[in-house]
Amino acid sequence: MHTSTDVFAKVRDHDRSAMLAAAREADVLPYFHLLTSPAMPVVEMEGAERIMLGSNNYLGLTGDERVMKGAEDALHRFGTGLTGSRLLNGTIPLHLDLEREIAEWMQTEDALVFSTGHQANLGALGTLLGPGDTVIVDSGDHASILDGCLLSRAKLRPFRHNRLDKLEKALDRSQQDGGGVLVVVDGVFSMEGDIAPLGDISELCHRYGARLMVDEAHGAGVLGARGAGTAELLGVGDRVDLRVGTFSKSLASCGGFVAGPHEVIDYLRISSRAFLFTASAVPAAVGAALAALRVLRSEDGPPLLAQVLENARRLRDGLHERGFAVVTPQSLPSEGQLQEHAPGVRSSGGAHTIVTPIVPVLVGDDWKAALLWRALYDAGVFVNTALHPAVPPGGALLRTSVMATHDEATLERALDAFSRVKSEFESEHGPLPGPEAG
């Protein structure tokens, strides 16, 4: 005779089950739709052509001949898998080349390649922090950062997204916690596409003796003259202690890295459980990431950076003109070390702005967002949907994103589809938030 509840009970009755069932019933579930072609600016999904505005393939390198050859050569030289940890039988020369070239790119002493970006965050945070330490995170930070913090059992002090006053309060309070203090922020926030004010954040960290780690998943391969990310664009590379990145976005592959001082990286190399107790990435993934990084760091890189950021502005402006609630171009600090001439930075009257490739369209209501997603999908445009709890309640959004390889005609076609869908949608379901809500 036992009285414990079944751990499987929650799979039948969780807080999202009713919404999920209703979305399935109405055929508006925006998740798990099948891609049946290469990941390109226009793809085939479920038997129809769709313009892909829902990827992180910012430089469009997934179909680049040089990157495909990098994957192919690695596959033929090392086989399909390495079947073991980096520590044991899973390190190939490509890993070492990649680590050296990432460190050069990030201008850090060293770098360590993980099998995913999620594991890089887990591996860095779960190893460097412990129960006596404090970790201060922006509430918009990526889930893998939160997972790493929870794994570390450090004291977690979250602050409201981009609120520097709240960050300062957390730093002040952390002085009494008694351990080391680490602040972790996304360079570019993955859902909203906004850039963290790293100049002010690094200043505060310095004042309170805290270390700073920046997740450059959406900044590396996008921002800065060398595409090294947010810290490079804002001219604060030397004030960031650790950077984390992924190969699953601009670098057109899968995997992740941590870059920073040699002593820290070397410690992670022998102590990080997310690095040691998992298999090394498949050779093709490492080969593709290395080839993509070489394209980015060649003379072909800067035009790609300029193009993806120009496409972002075109998409943002087009959506704004068509009455959607999109963000205004982000102002960048004019004092300090900003790279004013970096790709995508527009200057006027002493002010500098940028639009990152993540262009969220605010919808508000979860159900309306799912319906709008479906209408766009049927009109031949795939976008991502962020519903609560990925965003605050009432903050549902469609996350659109561009690639350097979207041409003008394709973006115009996508914008036309948005226009058509908007008027039909609003006549049936009422008004969507307008540009003033962006």
Ligand X SMILES: Cc1ncc(COP(=O)(O)O)c(C=O)c1O
Binding site for ligand X (CB under 6 A): 116-118, 121, 142, 144, 186, 190, 215, 217-218, 246, 248, 256
Nearest approach, Cβ of residue 190 and ligand X (Å): 4
User: Quick one: 246 or 410, whose CB is closer to ligand X?
Assistant: 246
Rounded least distance, CB 218 to ligand X, Å: 6
Q: Which is nearer to ligand X, 256 or 344 (CB)?
A: 256
The radius of gyration of the chain's CA atoms, rounded to the nearest angstrom, is 22
Tokens of 408: 């003008």
Q: How far is the CB of 251 from ligand X (least distance, A)?
A: 10
Six token digits for residue 355:
């639009």
| Pair of tokens at residue 118 | 């999620």
Report the b/e string of 399-409 with b at 16+ CB within 10 A: bbbbbbbbeee
Integer Cα distance of 353 and 191 in angstroms: 19
Q: Which is nearer to ligand X, 60 or 148 (CB)?
A: 148
CB of 65 to ligand X, least distance (A): 24
Characterise 100 by phi-psi region: left (phi > 0), alpha (psi -120 to 50), beta (else). alpha
Nearer to ligand X, 51 or 191 (CB): 191
Pairing assessment for the beta strands 155-159 and 242-246 based on DSSP bridges: unpaired
Asked if residues 184 and 215 have their Cβ atoms less than 8 Å apart, the reply is: yes
Closer CB to ligand X, residue 254 or residue 421?
A: 254
Closest CB 215 distance from ligand X, rounded Å: 5
Nearer to ligand X, 56 or 410 (CB): 56
Q: What is the distance between the alpha carbons of residues 11 and 34, in angstroms, rounded to a whole number?
A: 24
**Residue whose beta carbon is closest to ligand X:** 117
* Residue 166 CA: distances (Å) to CA of 124, 141, 170, 194, 269: 24, 15, 6, 18, 34
Question: Residue 204 CB, nearest distance to ligand X (Å)?
Answer: 21
360 three-class SS: strand
